[in-house]
Structure 1
Amino acid sequence: MHRFAILVLCLFTLGCERLDRIGQAPGFNPVEATAQHHAMHSIPLPERAGDRRPTDTASIWSAGQKSLLGDRRASRRGDILTVVIEIDDRAEMSNNSARARTGSESMSVSSLFGLPQRVDRHLPDGASMGDAVATSGAGSFSGDGAIRRNERLTLRVATTIVEQLPNGVLRIEGTQEVRVNQELRELVVTGYVRPEDISRRNEITYDKIAGARIAYGGRGLISDVQRPRWGQDMADIVLPF
């Protein structure tokens, strides 16, 4: 009885998770604990004297990112890079399969040194060793499957270089949250990029990001309505039918 009461109390607690958010808009995730915040606040390593060229200190032209003709593409930890996401994918798949099988087997013992006749005397009425065994079977299978997918997503998000690997590849990470009324839209982008794939406009397309992880979703009043209740989720797991 005590175990049942504890189970009911746990289920009631799970169902009351959203009670503290009634009438309130969903809150933003903190930025201070992310890798972006740490990368932007870290102090870059000082340049060595041998890495500087004579033109870097010229009064008219220099090769720095802040100069008029310098390369302003993101290249160091803490720099900001714009990721352009334009996904327009379509996929259609259709499979049909069919299988059929029939078979029959029979065995009769009509005469074997007179033994079937002697055995028939002791068998019930209607039974005979003339048709000792007869089997037949039939089976059929058919299956149809179809998949149709159409995805389209166009977004732009600013990401931060959070790590520079020894081979020169840059690891980027970016998050974006937009709250409209009682709904919060979240966008997360992570992956690895090559510095030479970054355009002069300091942009890179999503198809040039290795190991890209793009998540676009939301939470709030509308998302709660579209999400099944916790009781329905438990019923789908527990019920065998």
Structure 2
Amino acid sequence: MKTNVLLLLAAASTLSGCGAAGRLANVGRAPKFTAAEPMTAPYLERSIGTRTAPDRSIGASAPAMVAAAPPAQSASLFRTGAGAFFRDQRAARVGDILTIRVNIADKADIGNNTSRSRTGSENSGVAALLGVENLITKVLPGDNDPSSLVKSNSTSQNSGSGTSSRSETINMTLAAVVTDVLPNGNLMVRGRQEVRVNFEMRELIVSGVVRPEDIARDNSIRHSQIAEARISYGGRGQLTDAQQARWGQQIYDALFPF
């Protein structure tokens, strides 16, 4: 048992040491932005009013680097990707962007009081039992009365109380990208927003499933209309490090059994 505890302490010290080394390397530096994740988007035909000259920067010596030619353009005003008057401009396909409004104002107060008490008393004896009561005086020392052989009293009392109070307020807006379209037409969305002020990075991450019918006319949706929503709002930097306990104290709290 002691060997296992020592191994856990050694492993925790090694990991925390690596984390400390990384923090020392970033002393005096602002947190780095997270690399943008690759997004999947279908090809959309450009408007016939936007024409670009062919790219002649790639020579004949590198034919493998030439991108595949897009499909031939049509002259229809109602083709996919054109700025049509009658097409719904709300997000509906993979790669489309919609706005998510996060307005969280939660408050909860929970109180619990429990009280329990119990009292018991037992008296038992044998005044006469076929002469067996006479053997009791021979077996047990002292002057014993067979009519009061067993006597017990017990008292138990328990009381408990608990109170929980929580209040959260988040008001933010961010843009999310449709990452997938489910077979029933619902949209998988994911959005990430990072804001760096001096040496503190604040990030907001939202993901979940959206019904196209819930998207408003301005191509926005409330966070309460997102199913399987995962909302993460936090930060990293000097202020966040100052609010956390040191790694030694965290290891002590995790391993100390009392």
Q: TM-score range by the shorter chain?
A: 0.7 to 0.9
**Which letter maps to 1:43?**
Y
**Which letter maps to 1:77?**
V
Question: What is aligned with 2:43?
Answer: 43
Structure 2 residue 10 is the aligned partner of structure 1 residue 7: yes
Structure 2 residue 178 is the aligned partner of structure 1 residue 161: yes
Structure 2 residue 134 is the aligned partner of structure 1 residue 134: no
Structure 2 residue 32 is the aligned partner of structure 1 residue 27: yes
SS at match of 1:176: strand
Question: What is aligned with 2:55?
Answer: none
Structure 2 residue 104 is the aligned partner of structure 1 residue 79: no
| RMSD over aligned Cα atoms | 2.8
Q: 5 Å matches for 1:229-240?
A: 229-240=246-257
1:63–1:71 Cα contact (<8 Å) kept = no
Q: Tell me whether 103-112 or 11-20 shows the greater mean CA deviation.
A: 11-20
Q: Deviations over 1:26-80 (max 9, x none)?
A: 111100xx2xx3224x5359xxxxxxxxxx637xxx9966245643211111111
**Which letter maps to 1:191?**
G
**Which letter maps to 2:221?**
I
Cα distance between partner residues in 1 of 2:27 and 2:81: 52
SS at match of 2:40: helix
Cα distance between partner residues in 2 of 1:162 and 1:14: 33
Question: What is aligned with 2:192?
Answer: 175
Which of 121, 125, 148 aligns to 1:108? It is 125
Cα distance between partner residues in 1 of 2:197 and 2:245: 23
Alignment length (residue pairs): 222
Cα deviation, residue 127, structure 1: 4.4
Cα deviation, residue 220, structure 1: 0.5
SS at match of 1:119: helix
**Which letter maps to 2:40?**
A
Which of 220, 223, 227 aligns to 2:240? It is 223
Question: What is aligned with 2:60?
Answer: none
Give structure 2 stretches of 5+ with no counterpart. Answer: 46-75
1:65–1:72 Cα contact (<8 Å) kept = no
SS at match of 2:24: helix
SS at match of 2:35: coil
Structure 2 residue 206 is the aligned partner of structure 1 residue 203: no
Q: CA, structure 1 residues 123+197, in 2 after alignment: closer, same or farther (shift >3 Å)?
A: closer
1:173–1:190 Cα contact (<8 Å) kept = yes
Give structure 1 stretches of 5+ with no counterpart. Answer: 46-55
TM-score, normalized by length of structure 2?
0.76
**Which letter maps to 1:104?**
S
Question: What is aligned with 1:50?
Answer: none
Cα distance between partner residues in 2 of 1:116 and 1:157: 88
**Which letter maps to 1:29?**
T
1:116–1:130 Cα contact (<8 Å) kept = no
Cα distance between partner residues in 2 of 1:78 and 1:121: 96
Cα distance between partner residues in 2 of 1:13 and 1:234: 15
